[in-house]
Chain A
């Protein structure tokens, strides 16, 4: 049984008590990083105060506790995304970007060759583009892009053709710029039909609704802890146990080996093969606490709440700012998350964001690490508003009032 009241969530977030430029903070940048609740911060503090020790080695009491906490977080993560093979399929990385680098440089290096194609989309974050370009230079693979329609959706009309020679489809589950939620299940079926695998960038989607990798029938998933109320410095790479077993090591060093001799080494098996060096232990503990917290809220409730916020914001933007502010993304809440990009007529995104800051409003100006998408719509930068489980309709009130000031100042 879960209960959800965004006003109560708000009380759990210490940062929301801050006053910025004489205004209570209005945090609308959860798409960049979310705000951790006290439960996460305290779990990490308690770990450092009472249990800190290196994991997987020493046998003393605190080391056992640290190992249990670290591995417990792995298990919680596996359950959170319904990993069919459990914790053995969850690799901890630094962030989504590192997870994609692991995919490209380990699985990609071993399985992709001259002439093989990786199919991305025009709405990808650079994290799901650059590692493939790097692999293209090293391996001679081709990188192809699913176009984006004028309605900000993937254009799948020529999908059959696009899938020629494709070995991997790698797409975002939810655009960090447009808010568009992509038909991952449909893409997974199409990819598997031609014998390809499918990876999804879940950095945005994982924080905004339930994620079930088994139901989606995808093969690889990447996301970050800090976008789901957890700490920075920890990310997740998930794949099926059988695929993981065949992936060569990525970073080399301690912790990832079964044996090292003077003439070579044997890598460890399981996720630890990809976790060289002392891992982010406190961060894993924090991620575990964030997952417990989100489980308490219920991801379906979070999804519903953010959909209401998005519906309200889109409606009021249209009503009050039509002709002055353009929404760069779908104009309704169908298959759309709580990320809203704005193009303010005649005012650069940085200047809008700077004026908003004077009202304590935190938004993200820029290209959002999605330059190909910005070029597709002939934009240099947008102002991105993004909500979290602690956001309220009142946040939108403040945003719209501040937006009016920004337009006045530069208009």
Chain B
């Protein structure tokens, strides 16, 4: 069962059962952006309040599996109150963590180690990369956030 425990770490299940920053923000002024996971039909809506290049508030709604729900909850905790530059950095590091490298194509290939220090509790999601089909679940919220920032600028 070690693999499964890698994927469903306690902190992930905790975010899944008690998601942070769940809800809506009045839009406008908040930026509202929708994301879809075409593989499983999961949907997410992200609301962003940005003032002076700082993401002062973020809320999320939607439905999905434990990985997508936990990842969006952890993301919201990680980026709330951060400067947009820091938010973009977090997006980049997280997506790096979720990248399948060519070595994974070999039998028993191991994922390339990522720099986990900058990621804090998000590092708990690193087990997802061993389950390539689930990567899209973990990155849905992040891609949607990234889309929202692009729409803003």
Residues of chain A having any CB pair with chain B under 8 Å: 21, 348-351, 354-355, 358, 365-367, 371, 374, 380-381, 409-410
A-B contacts, 6 of them at CB < 8 A, read A348-B65, A350-B65, A350-B66, A351-B65, A371-B41, A410-B66
Complex partner residue of B64 from A21, A348, A367, CB under 8 angstroms: A348
Instruction: Tell me the complex Cα distance, A374–B137, Å.
Output: 19
The answer to whether A366 and B3 have CB atoms under 8 Å apart is no
Q: What residue of chain A has the Cβ atom nearest to residue B69's Cβ?
A: A348
Which residues on A sit within 8 Å (CB–CB) of B131?
A: 354
Residues of chain B having any CB pair with chain A under 8 Å: 1, 3-4, 7-8, 39-43, 63-67, 131, 134, 137
The answer to whether B41 and A358 have CB atoms under 8 Å apart is no
The answer to whether A349 and B40 have CB atoms under 8 Å apart is yes
The answer to whether A349 and B39 have CB atoms under 8 Å apart is no
Instruction: Tell me the complex Cα distance, A154–B58, Å.
Output: 44
Instruction: Tell me the complex Cα distance, A135–B40, Å.
Output: 26
Instruction: Tell me the complex Cα distance, A409–B137, Å.
Output: 19
Instruction: Tell me the complex Cα distance, A409–B66, Å.
Output: 11
The answer to whether A380 and B4 have CB atoms under 8 Å apart is no
The answer to whether A349 and B65 have CB atoms under 8 Å apart is yes
Measured CB to CB, the closest approach of chain B to A23, in angstroms, equals 11
Instruction: Tell me the complex Cα distance, A410–B8, Å.
Output: 10
The answer to whether B3 and A21 have CB atoms under 8 Å apart is yes
Instruction: Tell me the complex Cα distance, A410–B13, Å.
Output: 9
Q: What residue of chain A has the Cβ atom nearest to residue B63's Cβ?
A: A380
Total contacts A to B, CB within 8 angstroms? Answer: 43
**Best-buried of B43, B66, B134 by chain A (most CB within 10 Å):** B66
The answer to whether A350 and B134 have CB atoms under 8 Å apart is yes
The answer to whether B40 and A350 have CB atoms under 8 Å apart is yes
The answer to whether A366 and B65 have CB atoms under 8 Å apart is no
Instruction: Tell me the complex Cα distance, A21–B43, Å.
Output: 31
Instruction: Tell me the complex Cα distance, A381–B64, Å.
Output: 9
Q: What residue of chain B has the Cβ atom nearest to residue A21's Cβ?
A: B3
Given contacts A358-B3, A380-B64, A381-B42, 12 further A-B pairs with CB under 8 A are A348-B64, A349-B65, A350-B40, A350-B65, A350-B134, A354-B8, A354-B134, A374-B41, A380-B42, A380-B63, A381-B41, A410-B66
Instruction: Tell me the complex Cα distance, A366–B39, Å.
Output: 7
Instruction: Tell me the complex Cα distance, A351–B8, Å.
Output: 9
Q: What residue of chain B has the Cβ atom nearest to residue A22's Cβ?
A: B1
Measured CB to CB, the closest approach of chain B to A285, in angstroms, equals 27
Measured CB to CB, the closest approach of chain B to A401, in angstroms, equals 14
Which residues on A sit within 8 Å (CB–CB) of B43?
A: 380
Measured CB to CB, the closest approach of chain A to B82, in angstroms, equals 29
A350-B137, A380-B40 known; A355-B65 Cβ under 8 A: no
The answer to whether A367 and B40 have CB atoms under 8 Å apart is yes
A350-B65, A351-B65 known; A409-B41 Cβ under 8 A: no
Instruction: Tell me the complex Cα distance, A89–B33, Å.
Output: 50
Instruction: Tell me the complex Cα distance, A409–B41, Å.
Output: 23
Instruction: Tell me the complex Cα distance, A21–B67, Å.
Output: 21
The answer to whether A358 and B134 have CB atoms under 8 Å apart is no
The answer to whether B40 and A351 have CB atoms under 8 Å apart is no
Which residues on A sit within 8 Å (CB–CB) of B8?
A: 354, 409
Which residues on A sit within 8 Å (CB–CB) of B134?
A: 350, 354
The answer to whether B40 and A366 have CB atoms under 8 Å apart is yes
The answer to whether A380 and B1 have CB atoms under 8 Å apart is no
Measured CB to CB, the closest approach of chain A to B2, in angstroms, equals 9
Complex partner residue of A366 from B1, B4, B41, B63, CB under 8 angstroms: B41
Which residues on B sit within 8 Å (CB–CB) of A381?
A: 40-42
Instruction: Tell me the complex Cα distance, A66–B94, Å.
Output: 50
The answer to whether B4 and A358 have CB atoms under 8 Å apart is yes
**Best-buried of B8, B39, B41, B134 by chain A (most CB within 10 Å):** B41
Q: What residue of chain A has the Cβ atom nearest to residue B66's Cβ?
A: A351
Measured CB to CB, the closest approach of chain B to A351, in angstroms, equals 5
